Amino acid sequence: MQAGMAQGKTDIQWLWPILAGRAGLNPAAYRLDEGWSQRGERPSAMIERFHSDDDAVILKIVTKPDDPLRVEALQALQARAADVLGGTCRAPRVLAHDREAQAVLMAEAEGDRLFHLMEAADDHRPWLTRLGAWVAAFHRATLVEERQFKPAYNIKYIEKQLSAGKNIHQRKAFEICSKSVLSALPAFAGQPTIAAAQHGDANLHNFIWDGGALWGIDFTNPDVAPIGYDVARALLHYAVNLADHSKLRPGEAVPRAAAEAFFEGYDLTGPNDPSIQTILRARLVNDWVRFPASRVKQPIAQQIRFARAKAVLENIVRA
């Protein structure tokens, strides 16, 4: 361990010359971008941008989890994605990292967040196709095996929430929806699915469009899992935040035209994959449990998100 490396866990400026040197960059040629809108401390990381006259890089220190080996595995996953993806589906190159400091220096993905582009768009379908194509390209590049899907973990989790007696917001409605989900999940057992590396948080904020390619950022889970975890995360973030609920038909998480657009890009499997159908339901139940039980503790924006997430789950179980 280099002397003083522990300090780097909380001092990005101290780490900068070390990692820049490892990346073959001249740290004196770069300046901290104090006006960068994304800079600063997050719940699980500290992020800064350094730029020169013709280049920019991102320095990120992961503060949660405090697990150097796991964080290093995430950095290796991003590096692999950057190596194998190309064309219109990309990931930022890892330039240098430090295991003990849980720090990574990476190339910058320049452009606009997918969420904001879709928020301003009249037609979401082209963006959903691009998103589906990125997730498919990532899963194809990290494909591990075909599996028989097992929803037992999700079933046990929901059963535990129903029996725990926990104070849950709108408990009666929660029980009705959760019991309906429980009755549906056993049908997915034993059906074929695909396992691949996970992005871990495929929400619309974690994709950047540069005008010609979509970049995936902020990888959060290095584990191999059924592809439904990433696909459901992407679809539900869209469904809860941007989808037109007036176009939902009973049983749908997203309107049919939106789902068709996504799966035009995501060509590894279709919307009826058992892991996708299970995780769509289970994630909505999980998000409901995590929502503050007391209305007093709910900001307006959170109340709106809850109402929309509840509407999606109720529509799914209405089939």
pLDDT of 3 reads 36
Report the alpha-carbon distance of residue 40 to residue 113 in Å, rounded.
Answer: 18
Torsion of CA 111, 59, 44, 41, to 10 degrees: -90
Query: Quick one: pLDDT at residue 11?
Result: 79
Where does the chain have alpha helices with state H? 12-22, 68-84, 114-120, 125-141, 152-163, 171-184, 228-241, 256-265, 274-290, 300-317
Q: CA-to-CA distance for 250 and 318, rounded, in angstroms?
A: 6
Quick one: pLDDT at residue 2?
41
The enclosing H or E element of 208 equals strand 207-209
Residue ranges and CATH numbers for the domains of the chain are 5-108 (3.30.200.20), 113-317 (3.90.1200.10)
Find where tokens 């849950």 sit: 168
Contacts of 286 (CB under 8 A, 6+ apart): 157
Q: What is the pLDDT of residue 294?
A: 78
Whether the Cβ atoms of residue 234 and residue 135 lie closer than 8 Å to each other: yes
Specify the DSSP element, H or E, that contains 246.
none
State the Cα–Cα distance between residues 307 and 270, nearest whole angstrom.
Answer: 28
CA 6/CA 68 separation, integer angstroms: 12
- What pLDDT, on a 0 to 100 scale, did the predictor assign at position 297? 74
Q: What is the pLDDT of residue 80?
A: 96
Across the 319 residues of the chain, what is the mean pLDDT of every consecutive 10-residue run?
41 91 98 90 90 97 93 96 97 97 96 98 98 98 92 97 89 97 98 97 98 97 96 98 98 98 97 98 96 82 95 95
CA distance 47 to 123: 32
Q: Which two tokens stand for residue 38?
A: 């994304």
| Burial category of 46 from C-beta neighbours within 10 Å (exposed 0-12, middle 13-18, buried 19 and up) | buried
**Do the Cβ atoms of 287 and 233 come closer than 8 Å?**
no
- Among positive and negative, which fits the CA dihedral 267, 203, 240, 156? positive
* SS3 of the chain: helix, strand, coil, percent, to 5: 50, 15, 35
What Å distances lie between residue 11 and 57, 184, 213, CA to CA? Answer: 17, 49, 33
Q: Could you count the other beta carbons within 10 Å of the beta carbon of residue 311?
A: 14
CA–CA separation, 215 and 212 (whole Å): 10
Q: Can you give the pLDDT at residue 4?
A: 38
The structure's pTM equals: 0.94
DSSP 102: T
Q: Are 32 and 13 spatial neighbours (Cβ–Cβ below 8 Å)?
A: yes
Q: What angle do CA 199, 63, 289 make, to 5 degrees?
A: 60
